[in-house]
Amino acid sequence: MTTGKTLYDKHIDSHTVCQLDDDGHVLLYIDRQVLNEYTSPQAFSGLREKQRKVWRPSTSLAVVDHVNPTAPNRIALINDPGGARQVSYFGENCHDFGIELFDVLDKRQGIEHVVAPEQGFILPGMVIAAGDSHTTTYGALGAFGFGIGTSEIEHLLATQTLVYKRLNTMRVTVEGTLARGMSSKDIIMALIRRIGASGATGYAIEFAGPGIGALSVEARMTICNMAVEAGARGAFMAPDDKVYDYLKGRERAPSGELREQALARWQDLKSDEDAVFDMDLVLDSSDLAPMVTWGTSPDQAASISDTVPGPESYDTPSQRRDVERALYYMGLTPGTPLTDIRISHAFIGSCTNARIEDLRAAADMVGDRKVAEHVRAIIVPGSTAVRDQAEAEGLADIFIRAGFEWRQSGCSMCLAMNDDVLEPGDRCASSTNRNFEGRQGAGARTHLMSPVMVAAAAIKGHLTDIREMTEEA
Partner 1 sequence: MEPFISVTGTAAPMLAANIDTDVIMPKQFLKGIDRQGLDRGLFHGLRFQEDGTPDPSFILNQPAWQGSRFLVVGPNFGCGSSREHAVWGLQQLGIRALIGTTFAGIFYDNCQRNGVLTIKLDPERHQQLADVISNPERNQITVDLEQQIIALENADAVPFQVDTLKRDALMRGLDAIGTTLERQAQIMAFEQRHLAQNPWLK
Length of the chain (residues)? 473
Contact 387/405 with Cβ under 8 angstroms? no
417 binds partner 1 (CB under 8 A): yes
Q: How far is the CB of 302 from ligand SF4 (least distance, A)?
A: 22
- Three-class SS state of 282: strand
Work out which of 223, 411, 428, 455 binds ligand SF4, going by CB under 6 A: 411
- Three-class SS state of 472: helix
Stretch that binds ligand SF4, among 23-31, 76-84, 386-394, 407-415 (CB under 6 A): 407-415
CA atoms of 122 and 144, how far apart (whole Å)? 10
348 binds ligand SF4 (CB under 6 A): no
Work out which of 61, 122, 170, 415 binds ligand SF4, going by CB under 6 A: 415
Packed helices 81-97 and 41-50: angle between N→C axes, nearest 10 degrees: 50
- 94 belongs to an annotated ligand binding site: no
86 binds ligand SF4 (CB under 6 A): no
Neighbours of 95 (CB within 10 A): 10
Q: How far is the CB of 86 from partner 1 (least distance, A)?
A: 6
Helices (H), strands (E): how many in the chain?
16, 19
307 binds partner 1 (CB under 8 A): no
- 224 belongs to an annotated ligand binding site: no
Q: Given phi > 0 = left and psi -120 to 50 = alpha, else beta, which region is 409?
A: beta
351 binds ligand SF4 (CB under 6 A): yes
Q: Which letter does DSSP use for residue 308 in this model?
A: -
In the window 153-192, what residues touch partner 1 (CB under 8 A)? 154-155, 158-161, 163, 165
Q: Which residues pair with 405 in a beta bridge?
A: 378
Work out which of 7, 12, 111, 122 binds ligand SF4, going by CB under 6 A: 111
State which residue, 418 or 464, has the beta carbon closest to ligand SF4: 418
In angstroms, what CA-CA distances link 431 with 10, 320, 450, 456? 33, 27, 5, 12
CA atoms of 119 and 60, how far apart (whole Å)? 13
Work out which of 10, 11, 33, 41 binds partner 1, going by CB under 8 A: 41
Q: How far is the CB of 299 from partner 1 (least distance, A)?
A: 8
In the window 275-304, what residues touch partner 1 (CB under 8 A)? 297
Number of residues that bind ligand SF4 (CB under 6 A): 12
Alpha helices in 98-209 (DSSP H): 112-118, 150-159, 184-195
- Of these partners, ligand SF4, partner 1, none, which one is at the site of residue 145 (CB under 5 to 8 Å by kind)? none
The annotation places the binding site for [4Fe-4S] cluster at 351, 411, 414
Binding site, by residue number, is 351, 411, 414
List residues binding ligand SF4 (CB under 6 A): 65-66, 111, 113, 132, 134, 350-351, 411, 414-415, 433
